Structure 1
Amino acid sequence: MSAGPDHGTVGVSDGKPGPAVSFAGHVLQVFKRVKVENLVAGLSGGVVSTLVLHPLDLVKIRFAVSDGLELRPKYNGILHCMKSVWHQEGLRGLYQGVTPNVWGAGASWGLYFFFYNAIKAYVKEGRHTELSATEHLVSAAEAGVLTLTITNPIWVTKTRLVLQYSSDSTSKQYKGMLDALFKIYRTEGVSGLYKGYVPGLFGTSHGALQFMAYEQLKRDYSKYKKIPSDTKLNALEYITMAALSKLFAVATTYPYQVVRARLQDQHNRYDGVVDVIRRTWRNEGAPGFYKGIIPNLIRVTPACCITFVVYENVSRFLLGPS
């Protein structure tokens, strides 16, 4: 975990804590600082943004896995993809996979803010200075790893449901989120539910970079305005900082999402992350790693803005002003 203040951890006979005792002590101290209000606020933001923008997530994933297989529908662009799905399956088709997406996004944002604020509080305890950009980065990365470990099975089911192309519900492999979870576990075991976990770990850098940029922008803006760093800003200010931080994170980390989606895809089989990278590079070149980035940017920028605005307002309502 990140370096923090000495909390008097009981150690071995020489007075120094052993590694296991020290780590357990750090974890315990972090969890003493968790606030359910952060979980509720983050969950609220994640659910609202997901319900509004799920169709663009569906488009992004379908483009991300478009590797030339005959069974995949061919799309000429974002609008063509959405119109094709609408004509075949209506609104229900555009919201295919929305249940695990809502669960996943709600849990991910909720747990992320939950862990992130607890880790920040632990690191900052006893200090009168703001955290540095590096400390925000490390705190966000640690929160991301914990969150991914809990939520990865939900993301696998979302990808599988989104990539069911048939309009005939009787021929679909999965009937819903729980059916997908049980079938994946029954046929592929725990490893099936954790497909894409390794590139997902690389993806924690996405959230870490985003949170680092967001916190830094808030701090710099407060200094520019000569106001306390915990002053409530207006919705437009939160939206601007959330959008800029998200664009920065997406631009630097997007390829991991393509690798992850392809590993979780039920229509193709890869032998791991390296195999995905090798085959994508050989068959599609560098552009292959950026398939779906346009619908992703169109989706995640407003999604992030909605999430952060809802989070900031719900957390302030629940916790009160700092």
Structure 2
Amino acid sequence: MSVVTKTALDTDVSILNHIKYEHFVAGISGGVTSTLILHPLDVIKIRFAVHDGRLQTTPRYSGIWNAFTTIFRQEGPRGLYRGVVPNVWGAGSSWGLYFLFYTTIKTKIQKGNANTALSPGQHLLAASEAGVMTLFLTNPLWVVKTRLCLQYGGSSQQYKGMVDALVKIYRADGVRGYYKGLVPGIFGVSHGAVQFMVYEQLKNEYTKHYNVPISTKLDTVQYLSFAALSKFIAAGVTYPYQVVRARLQNQHYSYKGSFDCITQTWKYEGWRGFYKGLGTNLLRVTPATMITFVTYENVSHFLMK
């Protein structure tokens, strides 16, 4: 066996040694739990995000409560849970894969020592790599979720469910249809990267302050606080990409691409257009992140025992 082949094999084995299924299971648990509880806010956020004031068939709501009551009155409870199946699949698989990839990359950088503190740049790099890999695997589910959430009276394209949507999108646009919004999604990887960097640094500073190993299991209050603060910071910095991605995935309006969407949004709505639905988004993603991270931390620590 050549030196090159042996080195490559050792590297592969080294990476495989760092893969822990516990993080995958814990990530799925957190993503599914938060999604089932907070999906109605996701429906409302998407409908706010795609409304640019020009397309008359797009429902218009005066606020979060008005949107909630209007959807419930016109579409019933099912209206608030449109797209919940692909959202559960998407959130569960995304969080599971993200935590799996992230912890694997992070552990490799730490050379297997969970108590080795990483720099903010190293956390940012690990989270970015994990985010890109996760996005390529799950983007089709997010396209389906967005389109199901945007079904309402007068919709030109109706889907019976997740499988039906997958089939019709493929028939209409081919594989490319599953990857609409991918470009802003790649930019959006920065959101998860910033969030994880802040979250990890908060944990590092906390354990350093109390002089305990960074792998120490913290109290639920600490996890909730760190998750909320990291989400606020990340959302404020990176939210515009979510608006662009949702608009590109919207079946009721067509843009030539990401740049065209950004240009038209700026032309007709100014900078405020890039932050439509931010209030709803924070109302949803902050508790969702708190639930996800607390569930993940507790399940992963339990399984790792």
After TM superposition, give the deviation of residue 228 of structure 1 in Å.
1.9
Gaps of 5+ in 2: none
> AA paired with 1:211?
F
Matching residue of 2:100: 114
CA–CA distance in structure 2, aligned partners of residues 31 and 202 of structure 1: 28
The 1:318/1:184 distance shift into structure 2, 3 A limit, reads: same
User: Are residues 28 and 287 of structure 1, via their aligned partners in 2, closer, same or farther at CA, if it must alter by over 3 Å?
Assistant: farther
Kindly state the Cα deviation for residue 91 of structure 1 after the two structures are TM-superposed. 1.0
Is this contact kept in 1: 2:157–2:251, CA < 8 A? Answer: no
Secondary structure of 1:173's aligned partner: coil
Q: Distance in 1 between the 2:129 and 2:162 partners?
A: 28
Displacement, 1:11? 3.0
Deviation of the 1:186 alpha carbon = 1.1
Shift of 1:227: 2.0
- What is the CA–CA distance in structure 1 between the aligned matches of 2:269 and 2:166, rounded to whole Å? 31
1:140-175 CA-to-partner distances (Å, cap 9, x unmatched) read: 00000000000000000000000111289xx86111
Match of 1:67, SS? coil
Letter in 2 for 1:152: N
Q: Does 1:158 align with 2:145?
A: yes
| Between structures 1 and 2, the one with greater helix share | 2
Amino acid of the structure 1 residue aligned with 2:153: S
Counterpart among 42, 50, 71 of residue 85 in structure 1: 71
Cα displacement (A) at 1:295? 0.3
State the alpha-carbon separation in 1 of the partners of residues 102 and 81 from structure 2: 30
Question: Is 1:123 aligned with 2:116?
Answer: no
Q: What's the % identity of the aligned pairs?
A: 58
Q: Please provide the CA RMSD for this pair.
A: 1.9
Counterpart-to-counterpart distance in 2, 1:290 and 1:10: 54
Correspondent of 2:164 among 169, 179, 184: 179
Letter in 2 for 1:11: V
Matched, 1:138 2:131: no
Match of 2:270 among 285, 289, 307: 285
Distance in 2 (CA, whole Å) between partners of 1:134 and 1:93 is 42
- Give yes or no for contact 1:213–1:245 (8 Å, CA) kept in 2: yes
How far 1:32 moved relative to its partner?
A: 3.6
Decide whether the 8 Å contact of 2:57 with 2:154 is kept in 1. no
2:84 to 95, 98, 111: 98
- Determine the C-alpha separation between the residues in 2 that align with 1:187 and 1:126: 47
Give the AA of the match of 2:122. E
Question: Is 2:4 the partner of 1:11?
Answer: yes
Letter in 2 for 1:151: T
Partners of 1:59 and 1:82 within 8 A in 2: yes
**Using the alignment, how far apart are the partners of 1:126 and 1:235 within structure 2?**
26
Give 2:135's match in structure 1, choosing from 148, 156, 162. Answer: 148
The answer (yes or no) to whether the contact 1:61–1:162 under 8 Å persists in 2 is: yes
The TM-score normalised by the length of structure 2 is 0.94
- Contact conserved, 2:227 with 2:289, CA < 8 A, in 1? yes
Q: Give the Cα separation in 2 of the matches to 1:115 and 1:265.
A: 29
What is the one-letter code of the residue matched to 1:73? Answer: P
Kindly provide the amino acid, as one letter, of the partner of residue 102 in structure 1. V
Alpha-carbon distance in 2 for matches of 1:283, 1:213:
34
Match of 1:298 among 266, 272, 283: 283
Cα distance change, pair 129–40 in 1 and its aligned pair in 2 (3 A)? closer
TM-score (norm 1): 0.90
Specify every segment of 5 or more residues in structure 1 that has no aligned partner in the other structure, as ranges. 1-8
Question: Compared with structure 1, are the counterparts of its residues 129 and 186 closer, same or farther at alpha carbon in structure 2 (3 Å cutoff)?
Answer: same
Contact 1:88 1:167 in 2 (8 A): no
